[in-house]
Amino acid sequence: MPVDAELQPILALMNSGPPLREVPLEQLRQFTPAPAGPPVPLESVTDRTLPTAAGELPVRIYAPRAATGLPVLVYFHGGGFVLGSLDSHDGVARRLALDADCIVVSVDYRLAPEHRFPAAADDALHAVRWVLEHAGEVGGDARRVVVGGDSAGANLAAVSVLRLREGGAALPRGQLLIYPVTHLRSPLEGSMLENGDGYFLRAIDMQWFEDMYLQSPADAAHPHASPLLAKDLRGLPSAFVLTAEFDPLRDQGAAYAARLAAAGVPCVHSDYPGAFHGFFGMPVGISQRAVAEACGWLKTAFADTQS
């Protein structure tokens, strides 16, 4: 099918710019998408930092209502490990907090190229561990924690649960993976080839992001960079994997969902025909339906005592 009618003018605008590698990084980082409307009203939005061996890790905590013992979503923003911030994903975090009735802890992990792999993955792991141990400090329930993110942030969410399992630690209740990056340096075939130009995220942009993030090409084969390459996915928490028809990352997201299911992990894979990378949270119908589906899954994951 063609690109969703409501998304078409947004895509035309997004495609009008040059490849990301041709824009100075400082300029790219100064750009924050204009909010679609007034901020979603919540009980509180609080900035704080978490102490780590690498320094202070900023987080923003969204509480939908005055209550204790709410479920918690630890969220990692997208941006190719190079771009993005608490502000760029403020609207998404607010909507998830309100519609899923959960506390959202949005994490401002270190960005490349100043901080290359595995810095972002280390920050993600630290944030998830902190929430699992200290959820009560922010009004949350440590027994009902889900990790999530979009694009590179979904990569960090998936990697964090892999690393927790490797260390024999307690696992979160689930993982919300919105068009995840699961295979760095993936072959230029399938959706990477079909959707590699003309749909906002270009294949050459992905290569640029990876060049900035990885310390060496060999890092791409490490499962903490490419979770699709992990040998064993058994025992991981339940997952919701969202993909988009015109996303170059579509096939690797679908492949990760298939591997999770084959490993016995309860997994919902939802592909959105007519959508492209970055559509989640946009002020149009298809995007709002995607957010509603994700929040419905979150509520189920939070309530599932078996996961």
Asked, for residue 94, whether it belongs to a domain, the answer is yes
C-alpha span between 255 and 182 (Å, rounded): 9
Q: Which residue in the list 247, 251, 287, 307 is annotated as catalytic? A: 247
Confidence band for 92, pLDDT divided at 50, 70 and 90? very high
Options 151, 160, 186, 287, the catalytic residue: 151
| CA dist., res. 149 & res. 298, Å (int) | 13
Predicted confidence at residue 307, as pLDDT, reads 42
| DSSP class of 112 | T
Domain CATH number, residue 97: 3.40.50.1820
Q: What's the mean per-residue pLDDT of the chain?
A: 96
Q: Is the pLDDT of residue 271 over 50?
A: yes
Write down the catalytic residue from 77, 126, 183, 277.
277
Q: Is residue 2 part of a domain?
A: no
Encode pLDDT of 125-145 as tens digits: 999 999 999 999 999 999 999
Query: The domain containing residue 91 runs over which residues?
Result: 8-303
Structurally, the chain folds into a number of domains equal to 1
Q: What is the pLDDT of residues 177-202, one digit of tens each?
A: 999 999 999 999 999 999 999 999 99
Q: What ranges in the chain are assigned the alpha helix state H? A: 8-15, 25-30, 90-100, 119-134, 152-166, 191-194, 203-213, 250-262, 285-303
Catalytic residue flag (residue 247):
yes
Q: What's the whole-model pTM score? A: 0.97
Please state the three-class secondary structure of 35-66 as a single string.
CCCCCCCCCEEEEEEEEECCEEEEEEEEECCC
CB-CB neighbours of 300 under 10 Å:
15
222 in active site: no
Torsion angle, alpha carbons of 14, 19, 22, 28, to 10: 40
Classify residue 226: in a domain, yes or no: yes
Does the annotation count 151 as an active-site position? yes
Burial group, residue 152, by CB count within 10 angstroms (0-12, 13-18, 19+): buried
Residue 238 located in a structural domain:
yes
Q: Is 3 among the domain residues?
A: no
In a domain, 296, yes or no: yes
CA 237 and chain centroid, separation: 16
**CA 17 vs CA 23, 28, 78, 129, 239: distances in Å:** 9, 11, 19, 39, 34
CB–CB of 173/237 below 8 Å? yes
pLDDT at 305: 59
Is 158 contained in some domain? yes
